């Protein structure tokens, strides 16, 4: 079975291409945030890991995953059940065969998905900070880019069963995910959860008695600058996604960009207020988490919501994010240094549900809920299974000595800040 490719005129093609060239700024922002939220003794490994994982993810997706995603060729593997076609995966060529002859929309879609997969690979990397080995991170990036992301991308963007919910079951326009809230952020948040479950917490994080040990990020400037950088990338990403996956006309793009900024702003203000009320002073790293969570929510809502709805979605995200970060750490003993589970996973899920509430089509809410069940009910167990198998072959966690001296010295042989003694603790004795 094949799906017809949408047609882009020259103006939209040029604009979308230019927007996609700005999208890596979002990746750079997330990389800086991940690095700043980790410890100083693992900073070089964190940033090098971000670059490496993104590179491996792009290579694996471009060479292999592209076939399952069905980007270049519209052919797909379809199962017929209950009288309806269910598109399960793409059946395109591997090694980018036929790319030059592919229509312009397919080429832009490939570029978009390469950026998306680079972002996806970095999300769990932040959660595994200070204990996840680089080699295991690379293998994880290959799994995400070669199997999980392509399948999800096909279901959502390539004419798969989630995209066809509208045509087959009269559920609105099918599952809507214009800028990767599901296929990038929720998938990344769920892989972060699976990773944290399998690798376990950092040593000393949860002592036998009392509260968990605070391990604050080592550089708030990296984190907050990363937030600003991410905004630029997100503005471009959301607008490009709206053109590519919703066929949005040019005139709607300024509102999409405005919605992106409003969602992030409302989320930041809400997080700042919550932390101010709870702790007496605003918390910089939680505020950064709130801002980023707002951007993640906007990935789902910016192209379908009104400005007021965007503010509402952002405010809910901003209130829930710091509370959820606290809940995960204090009540559930989940050690997630970058907060990716709450920031990417939960904020993305909320964005998808909110998009279903805001979209005018009948049945859209049910379509969005079906997408959420596919992510939680199918993807999370699958990620966990693949990660557990991978952990048997290539241990995720660094040995205790490596964790004690820091990932920089252990894995790279040198630190990020060689001329400074950051603080005296057991590592330096």
Q: Is 182 or 380 the residue whose CB approaches another protein more closely?
A: 380
Q: Is 61 or 358 the residue whose CB approaches another protein more closely?
A: 358
CA distance 374 to 330: 29
Q: Is 138 or 193 the residue whose CB approaches another protein more closely?
A: 193
Under rule CB under 8 A, residue 41 binds another protein: no
Q: Is 112 or 387 the residue whose CB approaches another protein more closely?
A: 387
Under rule CB under 8 A, residue 365 binds another protein: yes
The nearest distance, CB 86 to another protein, in angstroms, is 9
CB 220 within 8 A of CB 284: yes
Alpha-helical segments (H) within 280-346: 284-301, 307-326, 340
Under rule CB under 8 A, residue 401 binds another protein: no
CA distance 315 to 38: 27
Binding segment for another protein (CB under 8 A), chosen from 214-222, 231-239, 251-259, 380-388, is: 380-388
CA distance 37 to 405: 18
Kind and range of the H or E element at 407?
helix 407-407
The nearest distance, CB 11 to another protein, in angstroms, is 39
Give just the sign of the alpha carbon dihedral 66, 387, 55, 244: positive
Under rule CB under 8 A, residue 197 binds another protein: yes
* 99: Cα separation from own chain's centroid: 26
The nearest distance, CB 204 to another protein, in angstroms, is 6
Under rule CB under 8 A, residue 429 binds another protein: no
Report phi then psi at 210, rounded to 5.
Answer: 85, -170
Of 229, 372, 398, 409, the one binding another protein by CB under 8 A: 372
In our burial notation (b when 16+ CB lie closer than 10 A, e otherwise), range 182-196 reads: bbbbbbbbbbbbbbb
Under rule CB under 8 A, residue 333 binds another protein: yes
Q: Is 55 or 366 the residue whose CB approaches another protein more closely?
A: 366
* Tokens standing for residue 177: 């995910």
Of 3, 203, 357, 361, the one binding another protein by CB under 8 A: 203
Q: Is 90 or 356 the residue whose CB approaches another protein more closely?
A: 356
Binding segment for another protein (CB under 8 A), chosen from 49-57, 79-87, 235-243, 304-312, is: 79-87
Q: Is 378 or 395 the residue whose CB approaches another protein more closely?
A: 378
Nearest partner of 311 among 275, 360, 354, judged by Cα = 354
Q: Report how many residues bind another protein under the rule CB under 8 A.
A: 38
Kind and range of the H or E element at 88?
strand 84-90
Under rule CB under 8 A, residue 209 binds another protein: yes
CA distance 285 to 193: 20
The nearest distance, CB 426 to another protein, in angstroms, is 8
CA distance 164 to 178: 15
Under rule CB under 8 A, residue 81 binds another protein: yes
* Tokens standing for residue 93: 């060529």
Under rule CB under 8 A, residue 85 binds another protein: no
Binding segment for another protein (CB under 8 A), chosen from 23-31, 149-157, 180-188, 330-338, is: 330-338
- How many DSSP H helices and E strands does the chain contain? 19, 2
Nearest partner of 162 among 87, 67, 77, 91, judged by Cα = 87
The nearest distance, CB 191 to another protein, in angstroms, is 14
Binding segment for another protein (CB under 8 A), chosen from 27-35, 42-50, 206-214, 410-418, is: 206-214
By CB under 8 A, the residues from 107 to 166 that bind another protein are 165
* Tokens standing for residue 416: 């990020």
Under rule CB under 8 A, residue 370 binds another protein: yes
CB 178 within 8 A of CB 327: no
> Which residue has 């299974």 as its token pair?
385
Under rule CB under 8 A, residue 200 binds another protein: yes
- For binding to another protein (CB under 8 A), which residues are involved? 81-82, 84, 165, 169, 197, 200-209, 332-334, 362-363, 365-366, 369-370, 372-374, 376-378, 380-381, 384-385, 400, 404, 426
């Amino acid at each position: 079975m094949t799906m017809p490719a949408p047609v882009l005129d020259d103006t939209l093609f040029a604009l979308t291409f230019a927007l996609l060239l700005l999208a890596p700024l979002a990746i750079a922002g997330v990389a800086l945030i991940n690095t700043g939220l980790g410890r100083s003794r693992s900073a070089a490994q964190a940033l090098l890991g971000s670059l490496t994982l993104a590179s491996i993810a792009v290579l694996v997706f471009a060479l292999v995953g592209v076939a399952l995603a069905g980007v270049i060729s519209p052919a797909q593997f379809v199962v017929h059940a209950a009288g309806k076609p269910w598109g399960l995966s793409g059946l395109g060529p591997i090694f980018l065969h036929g790319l030059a002859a592919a229509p312009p929309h397919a080429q832009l879609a490939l570029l978009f998905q390469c950026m998306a997969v680079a972002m996806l690979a970095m999300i769990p990397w932040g959660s595994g900070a200070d204990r996840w080995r680089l080699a295991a991170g690379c293998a994880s990036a290959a799994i995400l880019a070669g199997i999980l992301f392509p399948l999800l991308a096909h279901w959502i963007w390539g004419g798969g069963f989630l995209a066809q919910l509208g045509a087959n079951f009269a559920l609105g326009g099918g599952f809507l995910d214009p800028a990767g809230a599901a296929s990038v952020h929720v998938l990344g948040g769920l892989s972060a959860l699976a990773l944290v479950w399998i690798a376990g917490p950092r040593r000393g994080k949860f002592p036998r008695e009392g509260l968990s040990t605070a391990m604050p990020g080592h550089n708030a400037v990296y984190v907050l600058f990363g937030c600003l950088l991410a905004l630029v990338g997100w503005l471009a990403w959301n607008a490009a996604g709206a053109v590519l996956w919703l066929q949005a006309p040019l005139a709607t793009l300024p509102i999409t960009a405005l919605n992106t900024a409003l969602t992030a702003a409302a989320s930041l203000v809400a997080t700042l207020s919550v932390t101010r009320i709870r702790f007496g002073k605003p918390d910089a790293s939680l505020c950064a988490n709130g801002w980023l969570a707002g951007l993640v929510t906007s990935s789902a809502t910016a192209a379908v919501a009104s400005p007021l709805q965007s503010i509402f979605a952002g405010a809910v995200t901003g209130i829930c994010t710091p509370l959820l970060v606290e809940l995960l750490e204090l009540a559930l003993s989940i050690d997630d240094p970058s907060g990716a589970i709450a920031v990417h996973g939960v904020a993305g899920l909320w964005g998808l549900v909110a998009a279903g509430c805001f979209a005018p089509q009948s049945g859209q809410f049910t379509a969005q809920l079906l997408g959420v069940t596919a992510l939680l009910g199918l993807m999370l167990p699958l990620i966990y299974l693949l990660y557990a198998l991978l952990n048997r072959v290539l241990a995720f966690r660094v040995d205790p000595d490596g964790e004690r001296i820091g990932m920089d010295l252990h894995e790279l042989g040198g630190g990020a800040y060689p001329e400074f003694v950051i603080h005296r603790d057991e590592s330096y004795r």
